[in-house]
Amino acid sequence: MAARPDPSSGAPRAPGARAAGGDPPARAEVISLRPVEAGPLVVSGLSECMLADGTRIPIRGTVHLCRCGGSAQKPFCDGTHNRNGFTGEEPAQPAPSQAGTRRYEGRGFAVHDRRPLCASTGFCTERAPEAFVRGREPWIDPNGVDEQALKQAVELCPSGALAWSAAQEKMGRHPAAQPGLQVLRDGPFCVSGPVQLEHPRPPGDPMRFTLCRCGASANKPYCDGSHRVSGFRDES
Ligand code: SF4
Ligand code: FES
């Protein structure tokens, strides 16, 4: 069992981004993720697990990560799911990939938003509060901040909900990322692809998606932002 990490706070880091000054992680094999029914997320091919503050936990072989929210050794599973009634129940609803995209036009570029994919991480509203205002209609104003700041905020989105494109392009795009898994403090697992996810419902964006680790999502194995409502905390 790896030592318990310190999930201390830090500035949001784009999933897949490297920590400043650090060595690039070794990448030997394809990262494979398997959510076990009523149990943990079984991960293989991962050389390290990155926390939101950039702390890296080296991983050797297969690792079991908690997705019931009850482990005392987060982000690792300690068997608590056998005692806290976690069922891992999944919805009988359309896959996130079928969710519609709304487009918000700005000067020279556009922001694309797939709301059902949002994991409520708050990266967009914290990074560019003038452009992203919850409750406002339209809630995204691409002209609210300068283009560079807006693109940076969009590129931080770990769930695949947000993307940007040049004005004439139809499709939104995300920046290239390195395959990996980041543990968001008090939030989901942020996965950047390509990875192998063993699940019948594919993620909305295979290159960038979030997986529930609080146990409360109604869209397991994906995060639906429920950690904000349930008050999930790493220290419990
Ligand atoms: S998941 Fe993306 S869209 Fe949702 S709050 Fe976070 S950054 Fe914003
Ligand atoms: S999934 Fe095993 S302790 Fe949470």
Q: What is the pTM of this model?
A: 0.83
Residues within a 6 A CB radius of ligand 1: 118-124, 156-159, 161-162
* Neighbouring C-beta atoms of residue 90, cutoff 10 Å: 17
pLDDT of residue 176: 63
Per-residue pLDDT for 230 more than 60?
Answer: yes
Lowest mean pLDDT among 29-43, 94-108, 176-190: 94-108
CA angle 169, 173, 178 (to 5 degrees): 155
pLDDT of residue 20: 37
What's the pLDDT score for residue 110? Answer: 92
pLDDT tens, residue by residue, 197-227: 999 999 988 999 999 999 999 999 999 999 9
Q: How many angstroms is it from 153 CA to the middle of ligand 2?
A: 32
Q: What is the pLDDT of residues 133-178, one digit of tens each?
A: 999 999 999 998 998 999 999 999 999 999 999 877 777 776 667 8
Supply the residue whose CA is at minimum distance from atom 2 of ligand 2: 77
Residue 193 scores a pLDDT above 70: yes
Q: Which atom of ligand 2 is nearest to the CA of 71?
A: 3
Backbone angles phi, psi at 183, to 5 degrees: -95, 115
Q: Which residue shows structure tokens 């896959």?
A: 95
Q: Which pLDDT belongs to residue 53?
A: 76
Mean pLDDT value across residues 65-93: 93
What pLDDT score was predicted for residue 109? 86
Is 50 exceeded by the pLDDT of residue 98? no
**Please, are residues 61 and 67 in contact by the beta-carbon 8 Å criterion?**
no
> Does ligand 2 have an atom closer than 6 angstroms to the CB of 78?
yes
CA of 25 to the centre of ligand 1 (A): 26
pLDDT tens by residue, 1-59: 333 433 333 334 455 444 333 444 444 579 999 999 999 999 999 999 888 778 899 99
Can you give the pLDDT at residue 17? Answer: 46
Instruction: Look up residue 19 and give its two tokens.
Output: 């920590």
Question: Ligand 1: which of 121, 150, 210, 224 to mutate, most ligand atoms within 8 Å of CB?
Answer: 121
Q: Domains, the chain, ranges and CATH?
A: 32-90+178-230 (3.40.5.90), 96-166 (3.30.70.20)
pLDDT score, position 94? 57
Per-residue confidence (pLDDT) for residue 236, from 0 to 100: 61
Quote the pLDDT of residue 163.
Answer: 92
For 191-205, the DSSP string reads: EESS-EE--SS--SS
Predicted pLDDT at 21: 39
| Ligand 1 pocket mutation, candidates 114, 120, 222, 226, criterion most atoms within 8 A of CB | 120
What is the distance in A from the centroid of ligand 1 to the CA of 192? 15
- Give the pLDDT mean for 87-100: 70
- Residue 175 Cα to ligand 2 midpoint, Å, equals 32
* 138 and 197 Cβ atoms separated by less than 8 Å: no
